Amino acid sequence: MRAFRRLIDAIAAEGSAALVTLARVEGSSPREAGARMVVRPSGGFHGTIGGGALEFAALEAAQAALVAGRGPAQNRSLALGPELGQCCGGRVEWRIETFDARDLDDLSSLAIVEGAGAATLRARLRLDGRVERALASGAYAPRRSGRRAGEDEWSEPLGVSAPAVYLFGAGHVGRALALALAPLPFAVRWIDSRRSAFPARAPANVSLIHAPEPAAELAAAPDRALIVVMTHSHALDLEIVAAALSAERFGFVGLIGSATKRARFLSQMRAAGLAEAALARLVCPIGVAGLESKDPAVIAASTAVQLLIVSETLAAEGPEAASPASRQRTPDRAPA
């Protein structure tokens, strides 16, 4: 969630807003430290700090802070079991900050950084109790007297470095997959040789790329990008898949289709000289195991789950890990 953008929108609509952050987590907790929620005076909210009794209590506290008006940040530590009756067994500390129109300039600067990708902020508690933030590489305004360097300071991650998904094909399943990926932490380049195949609008995390030669788009794709191929042409599918596997640097190469289509493509690529190690990385059919439906929305949901699993595995392996071999495959679900 782009929290600072949400704060700006809430202030524009309702005059003020609150930011709830899990500042610290000990033991088991429904969300990690840094999870955020933006709360509006009307009671609407964006994001989550874990749901249940914890979130309900935080929403109540945020509403009370908004009624009191813009003021110092409020911190509260709660034991999830004894105080909230939750079985997680851990302890969390939340921080509630309130904002209004006086904060729009600062929030706008933070929203720009937030929208540019992953970054780290340095934050500190000022003498008036409000939180001041700056880029980790930047500097604060001159420090007011009465507070020692390092006191009440911390780091905050901002934005996300979203895994790149290169989605080839704007047919029925391609459209369904673009929508399925819309709320997920991916940066999607949706590529097709037919400009008219694209919808008039796309989700915020999706870039529409009209490419007369779609396979050429792979040259600029980052290492360990996730490649998903489902064009209108089997010949074009084969060209893209062969180029992606030959590169030997992508985290996932998936092809829509059946086991029959996979076997045919492997035979043709083997005859063209591709190594067996490269061929083994082809994932076809795509999607998690156990779903038989050929409905585009079901295939898209299944593939989105698969991409989440692959991206988490790649993140756990670290940036220096080699591209993984084939991951989860599914029974036949698409025409050969």
Q: Quote the pTM value.
A: 0.67
Let me know: does 220 contact 294? Beta carbons within 8 Å: no
8 A C-beta contact, residue 215 and residue 239: yes
Which residues does residue 166 pair with via DSSP β-bridges, in sequence order?
189, 227
Pairwise pLDDT comparison (46 vs 31), residue with the higher score? 46
Distinct helix (H) and strand (E) counts, the chain:
9, 14
- pLDDT tens digits for range 48-102: 988 788 888 999 999 999 999 999 999 998 887 666 666 666 788 999 999 999 9
Q: Provide the residue ranges of all domains of the chain, joining segments of one domain with +.
A: 3-157, 164-317
Q: What is the mean pLDDT of residues 138-150?
A: 42
> 133 Cβ partners below 8 Å, 6+ apart?
106, 110, 121, 122, 123, 156
CATH superfamily of 164-317: NAD(P)-binding Rossmann-like Domain (3.40.50.720)
- pLDDT, tens digit, 9 for 90 and up, residues 189-241: 999 999 999 999 998 889 999 999 999 999 999 999 999 999 999 999 999 99
pLDDT at 143 over 80: no
